[in-house]
Every structure is written in C-alpha cells, then in structure tokens.
Amino acid sequence: MPLVIHARDADEDVARILREEMAAGPFAFLLHCFSSGRALAETGLELGGYVSFSGILTFPKSEGLREIARDVPLERLLVETDAPYLAPVPLRGKRNEPAFMVHTAQKLAEIKGVAPEALARQIRRNMARLFPRMGLAAEGDGA
C-alpha cells in the first residue's frame, strides 16, 4: 500500500522524513490534498511520489497552487474530493462529495492545457499504478 501524506505547515519536516525513509528503500507515496509549497512538491516528485489536488485548486486565492499544479508532470497527478470539506468552486460552502470532483478535474485540465477526457484517462492510469490493489485497469490496458 502506498503511504498517503497530508502535510500542513510541515513541508520541511515532511521532505526530510521522505528523503530519510526513501534512502532506506523506495516506496510509493502520495502527497494528498496538496496545498503545500513548491519545494515539497518538487521533493515529492524527485523521490517518485504523486501529487493530488482537491477543490482548493479552484479557489480564487490559490494561484500559487495552480502554478505548482501546472508544473507537476501529468503522469504524477491525481485529483480528489477530500470530502466532506473543500468543495470546489462553484460549490463552495456545500458538503463536498465525489461527484464534485469533476470541477477540480476541469480546472486541472485547463491549467495543464489538456482536454478533460485526456486528463481523466491519465488520472485513471496514475491511480492504477499507485494503487494496484484496487484492480483498476487503465483505459488502453485492457479495460
């Protein structure tokens, strides 16, 4: 199982721990509900991790986060709800649910300059790689 990390106000500590633990042997991990700084994203990517974005990506004041998302390689991206909180624009203030993730994915596709359908296929492939025990076959992999 991959390690799922939710970092809040601990970027340097998380990066240090990831480097230390990765030196002992590689493992899969996800920077979940990413809202940290560029340095942590870059460390995570350098170490082979994935970065997942929630509805925060759609918030008006999240331009810095959108800049980081723009630079994360497509093959390392995921989107999520982090329900029941962090509903994306235009649903702010509502109880978040999986169906709302489409808004986050649409914003991410816009940021990356790719068609939403292409992003969805890539995210499915990423999920299949990161969480192989889910039994997801990525589209194009016999799904």
Residue 51: give its domain's CATH number.
3.20.20.140
pLDDT band at 135 (very low <50, low <70, confident <90, very high): confident
pLDDT band at 4 (very low <50, low <70, confident <90, very high): very high
Report the mean per-residue pLDDT for the chain: 94
- The answer to whether position 143 is within a domain reads no
Read off the pTM.
0.92
- The answer to whether position 139 is within a domain reads no
- The answer to whether position 7 is within a domain reads yes
- Mean per-residue pLDDT, 10-16: 98
**pLDDT at site 143:** 42
Domain holding 119, by residue range, is 3-134
Convert 96-110 to b/e letters by CB count within 10 Å (16 or more is b). Answer: beeebbebbbebbbe
Q: How far apart are CA 82 and CA 142, in angstroms?
A: 29
> Count of domains in the chain?
1
pLDDT in tens, 28-65: 999 999 999 999 999 999 999 999 999 999 999 999 99
Q: Does 7 have pLDDT greater than 70?
A: yes
- The answer to whether position 124 is within a domain reads yes
